[in-house]
Amino acid sequence: MPVVPRIVITVADPSIQAEPAIAAWKNDLYVEAITRHGGEPLVLDARSSDDERQAALTTMAGLLLTGGADIDPARYGRPNQGSVNLEPDRDALEAEAYTVAVARGLPILGICRGFQAVNVFRGGTLLQHVEGHVGATWGHGPAKEHALRLVPGSRLARILSPTNPRAGATTVNSYHHQAVRPTDLAPGLVPSAWAASPEGDLVEGFEASEGPFLLGVQCHPERTESTPDSFERLWRFFVDACRGPISAR
């Protein structure tokens, strides 16, 4: 029987969002992505009780940090210069979950806000506003898209294009107004994908230079209507990593 890894998914609290139904729908997309590749989702948000958090964090086999509001710039030692809709309780939840996952050597995947959160938790910073990378909000029109340049031979390139890991580019959706520049990147992270912007090239994919699986992407691969099919391999690879080494199964 295949191992069914228990994967913690940290999400936005729908009850405090401007459109609670759409927020819940967004959360469901992450659950569906993990489930269709054989994982067991353990969903936490800022309302989760201490007991719920403890039960999930002590039994998780991997961590998925998802999209949502901006991270409080105080967490990376900067004044607010364009950050909006801050949710400090969610920041605290995700910092706790990340710390536990790192201490236990578990696989971690960051998506959009989660990509930025991983960078912040590892000591990086953020560009608090970049033009041209956000269009209509999800559920209110087609996604804005842009080219994504993969770093040849990177783990992300090998996952998305296993038969041609030196493939150079794809197209992804773009729902973010904050970003990671090369100068913002945390120690121990290496770029795996780039995108152009008025601020210069942005890091839109990164991975750990060593140690357990840790990968982040700025786009939203759970939104399959605006994501290349190749990103299904990212979900599958992450869930497989959460199953543990083959020898331990």
Is residue 222 among the annotated active site residues? yes
List of long-range contacts for 159-162, beta carbons under 8 Å, 24+ apart = 159/233, 159/234, 159/237, 160/228, 160/230, 160/231, 160/233, 160/234, 161/230, 162/233
Catalytic residue check, 219: no
Cβ neighbours for 1, distance < 8 A, ≥ 6 positions apart: none
Q: Which residues contact 69 (CB under 8 A, 6 or more apart)?
A: 12, 84, 85, 86, 87, 90, 113
Contact 124, 184 (CB under 8 A): yes
Spell out a b/e string for 191-214, using b for 16 or more CB atoms within 10 Å of the CB, else e: bbbbbebeeeebbbbbbbeeeebb
Among residues 216, 210, 46, the alpha carbon closest in space to that of 118 is found at: 216
**Which two tokens mark 193?**
């994908």
| Residue of 37, 133, 176, 220 marked catalytic | 220
Number of residues in the chain: 249
Distance between CA atoms of 234 and 227, rounded to whole angstroms? 12
Q: Vertex 118, ends 114 and 123: CA angle to 5°?
A: 145
Q: Residue 153: helix, strand or coil by DSSP?
A: coil
202/183 Cα distance (integer angstroms): 10
Catalytic-role residue among 112, 133, 176, 204: 112
Query: Known catalytic residue: 146?
Result: no
User: Which residues are catalytically annotated?
Assistant: 112, 220, 222
